[in-house]
Structure 1
Amino acid sequence: MPELNPAQTSAALIRPAIPATAWMLGIVSLLMDVSSEMINALLPLYLAGGLGASALAIGFIEGSSVAVATATKFLSGVLSDISRRAKPLAVLGYGLGALSRLIFPWAVSLDQIVLAKAMDRVGKGIRGTPRDAIVAAVSPPEIRGASFGLRKSLDTVGGFVGPLVAVGAMILLAGDILSVFWIAAIPAALCMVFLVFFVKEPAGRHSMKRGSFRLVDAFRLNRAVWAVIGLASIIMLARFSEAFVLLKALEAGFTPAWVPLSLVIMHAAYGLTAFPAGRLSDRIGTSGLLLGSLGFLIAAHLTLAYAATVWVYVLGTVLWGLHMGLSQGLLGAMIAAATPEHLKGSAFGTFNLVTGVVVLVGNTLAGWLWHSVGSATPFLVGAGMSILALIGIASGAGRFRTP
């Protein structure tokens, strides 16, 4: 067996630094997520208490908004690959999200909320794929998991700060939800400043020959990509919207002003886990981490199903956040590793399109179960689906290793 000389050993141990562009996109995600979570933390309460919406209606609104976003992600991914320019699409997507913040404070009916959510989700759909394509393009393969994990961690810092700001604003404003929605427009505007002036698109993407991409290629992704998409779909079906976790907080004893605190706890666990999980996946692969993430999801579902006190509920949200941290960044890195450079936008778009349809089905089912059977039932069904996903990954672990 040949021996490595000291120079080779040093090169093997020293990994490249995470690119500045990945850091800037993480900050952009952080700011937009602060804005989004300020709204999302209070929207289920506003829908149920202020507008009288049922759990079934809330589930459909949440699911359809995700479906709209993911259909848009597919189109933006294809456009990104055709044009070789991802940043303009990212600016358009984040811009629509920022504009939607001006609609939520005026909304006094369900159709106006649906309009605002649709605009926000279309923006999310447009920006997500080109943003991930840029991260994949600027990150060397040996630190790709770390780059995606970093962006997810910064994104979840926003998910931590947003609900915390919402709690403080609710207390200071005596529970005035619509005024909190107005405040949410501020970080969205700052997000646009960072994106326009500080994010640089890698020159390599738009210098590639346009002839290297054919539209038909977007529908001919390799088996490795489809294996990851199938895996993610199972996980997404088992994990429905956090809106139901927020509604469960009221049953556990939270007052409306303190409900956003549950998202603070969840995103703290998520954010503290995502970056280390990404770095670890670069060294040991993804299968073991994904199995661990599903173990946490099963525990979260079972805990939340029977959460009748604040502390049991808090434990459930921590477990949910640990699941998110161990799984979310890994799936993006797995797609990037399995896809040729000229099809990364299409691969991320297809990934988001398929999983978005699954989320629509899962959220609508969860809403129907909550409305028709009881609040514990969606969590129990989710635990059962998570067990099936865990068995599926364990039986085919070799197919889900990143190179």
Structure 2
Amino acid sequence: MKYITKTVWILSLVSLFTDTASEMLYPIMPIYLKSIGFSIVLIGILEGVAEATAGLSKGYFGKLSDNSGKRVPFVQIGYAFSAISKPMMAIFIYPLWIFFARTIDRFGKGIRTGARDAILSDEATPEAKGKVFGFHRSMDTLGAVIGPSLALVYLYYFPENYKTLFFIAFIPGLLAVLASFLLKDKRTKEMKPKVSTPFFSFLNYWKVSPIAYKKLVVGLLAFTLFNSSDVFLLLKAKQSGLDDTMVIGVYIFYNLIYAMFAFPIGIIADKVGLKKIFIIGLVLFSVVYFGMSANTNLYLFFGLFFLYGIYASATEGISKAWISNITDKKDTATAIGTFSGFQSICTMLASTFAGLIWFQFGATMTFLITAIATLIIVLYFWTIPKPDNFRNQVKK
């Protein structure tokens, strides 16, 4: 565990507390919004605006972090925004206020993502990136197990008392903010001159980025366009006969598998190669979607969600480790922020496409199209050279 430094531990705990707070509200958010008068259309618009805000801000704040040479302030402010957004959604129920509170939450994610991942990258050697990012994903996702579990217990004793849950979620959010103050930026002898950073300046990185980065991100975004929200998987389980408690249960089970396997899979990836593990993850994703297209057996859903947890373990942290190994250290936050920004927008489009296909042709066609498209994308990734440390590459 020598490669898991104090800084990695602190960041991982911060993410665990934040995810506990966010995922505590995830299962009840649509129910709460409907209870205060939001229509399905308005909920869709709210989530779309929130995701677009997060997506665009990730690239900008990643670039700003690289230009300033600072990481920790972005992490602290980003997690603080997410924490205060929780009680804000319960204080007033006016639609404009709810939009503001939800956007503040996603804006916080945009502020912190690039800087946080750059810190993780700086804490690891190229040979240990899988371990470090995998460990962080394990801790982060553990929050997605604890949060919904606490929500289930609370709602068992206090059914439909949603507002209080938002105030309870503020507690782990506050713990995350307090823990973030244990982080310190590394001192560097080099003083960075102040550089103007226009909001869309991160887009210029695409022009000067390494060819390996461009090839990787094209493949990742192509996959993202077919990787719709997990809500569709849960909806399919619900359609097939699982009750609300079982649906939340299978979601918790998926996150538990994800949390358990992300770290060990990161260790394996450092030994056998990030590319191999990532491709295996995509193949598992395709298997899950083929299974979802045909399955109606309630017990098999747990098997499919088990594989889905392994897929997430083999791709989420691994993709960021891969990016950080093929980009210059001074551009890490910009590279990850730019990718994450485009990824958020592609995710929004993917869910829109999936919803339209589901509405027109049914659930089976939705999952089949995604599964087949993923196998084609696997072939593309097979052609990409395996990741290497940026310093050993000839920049093209």
TM-score normalised by the chain length of structure 1: 0.87
Q: In structure 2, how many angstroms separate the alpha carbons of the residues matched to 1:64 and 1:115?
A: 10
Q: Structure 1's 140 and 26: CA in aligned 2 closer, same or farther, altered over 3 A?
A: same
Written as runs of structure 1 = structure 2, the 5 A alignment for 1:143-182 is 143-182=128-167
Aligned position for 1:209? 191
Q: What is the aligned partner in structure 2 of residue 226 from structure 1?
A: 214
2:244 counterpart of 1:256: yes
Asked whether 1:140 is paired with 2:128, we answer no
Superposed counterparts of 1:12-31, under 5 Å: 16-31=2-17
Deviations 1:277-334 (A, max 9, x none): 2112212212221121111111221223344343232223222221111001111111
- In structure 1, C-alpha distance between the alignment counterparts of 2:304 and 2:79, rounded to whole Å: 32
Match of 1:36 in 2: 22
Which of 353, 362, 373 is the matching residue for 1:385?
A: 373
Letter in 1 for 2:111: I
Deviates most, 179-188 or 124-133:
179-188
Letter in 1 for 2:14: V
1:206-241 Cα offsets, whole Å, 9 max, x none, are: x43315989677342111222221122122222211
Confirm or deny that 1:200 pairs with 2:176: no
Corresponding residue number in structure 2 for 1:4: none
Residues 85-144 of structure 1, C-alpha deviations (whole Å, 9 max, x = no match): 111111111111011101333464665544333211111111111101111112222212
Q: Residue 216 of structure 2 contacts residue 384 of structure 2 at CA under 8 Å; is this kept in 1?
A: no
Identical columns (%): 26
Corresponding residue to 1:361 among 310, 332, 349: 349
Residue 49 of structure 1, CA deviation:
7.3
Deviations 1:336-384 (A, max 9, x none): 1111121112111111122122112111112222334333443222212
Q: Which residue of 1 aligns with 2:256?
A: 268
Q: Shift in Å at residue 81 of structure 1?
A: 0.9
The 1:266–1:113 alpha-carbon spacing in structure 2 relative to 1, beyond 3 Å, is: farther
Question: Is the Cα contact below 8 Å between 1:81 and 1:213 reproduced in 2?
Answer: no
Question: Matched residue pairs, number?
Answer: 383
* Mapped contact 1:51–1:109 kept (Cα < 8 A): no
Against the structure 1 CA distance between its residues 401 and 316, is the aligned structure 2 distance closer, same or farther, given a 3 Å change threshold? Answer: same
Cα 1:374/1:63, change in 2 over 3 Å: farther
Q: What amino acid maps onto 1:333 in structure 2? A: A
- Aligned-partner Cα distance in 2 for 1:117–1:308: 35
Match of 1:340 in 2: 328
Shift of residue 257 of structure 1? 4.2
RMSD: 2.5
C-alpha change, 1:63 and 1:248, in structure 2 (3 Å) is farther
Q: For structure 2, list consecutive stretches of 5 or more residues without a partner in the other structure.
A: 390-396
Residues 85, 104 of structure 2: 8 Å contact kept: yes
Kindly provide the amino acid, as one letter, of the partner of residue 114 in structure 2. T
Kept in 1: contact 2:138–2:259 (CA 8 A):
yes
Q: For residue 299 of structure 1, what is the aligned residue in structure 2?
A: 287
The CA deviation string for residues 264-288 of structure 1, in whole angstroms up to 9 with x for no partner, is: 1111111122111211221221222
Looking at structure 2, the residues matched to 379 and 277 of structure 1 have their Cα atoms a distance apart, in angstroms, of 26
SS of the aligned residue for 1:101 comes to: helix
Q: What secondary structure, in the 3-state scheme, does the structure 2 residue paired with 1:313 have? A: helix
Task: Tell me the CA shift for residue 50 of structure 1.
Answer: 6.8
Q: Decide which of 52, 63, 67 is 1:82's aligned counterpart.
A: 67
8 Å CA contact 2:325–2:387 kept in 1: the answer is no
Give the 3 Å change call, closer, same or farther, for CA 50–402 of structure 1 in structure 2. farther
What is residue 329 of structure 1 aligned with on the other side? 317
In 2 relative to 1, CA 109–262 (structure 1 residues): closer, same or farther, beyond 3 Å?
farther
The CA deviation at 1:176 is 3.2
Query: Take 2:155 and 2:284, find their aligned partners in 1: how far apart are those partners?
Result: 31
- Letter paired with 2:130: G
- Aligned-partner Cα distance in 2 for 1:374–1:104: 34
Shift of 1:83: 1.0
Q: Cα gap change, 1:248/1:165 in structure 2, threshold over 3 Å: closer, same or farther?
A: farther
Cα deviation code 1:23-66 (max 9, x no counterpart): 11011001100111111222244456775644x76555445433
Map of 1:6 onto structure 2: none
Give 1:194 deviation, angstroms.
Answer: 0.6
Which of these residues, 350, 359, 376, is aligned with residue 371 of structure 1? Answer: 359
1:214 to 1:50, Cα distance in 2 relative to 1, 3 A: closer
Q: Which amino acid aligns with 1:282?
A: D
Structure 2 CA distance for partners of 1:305 and 1:104, relative to 1, 3 Å: farther
TM-score by length of 2: 0.88
2:85 to 87, 95, 100: 100
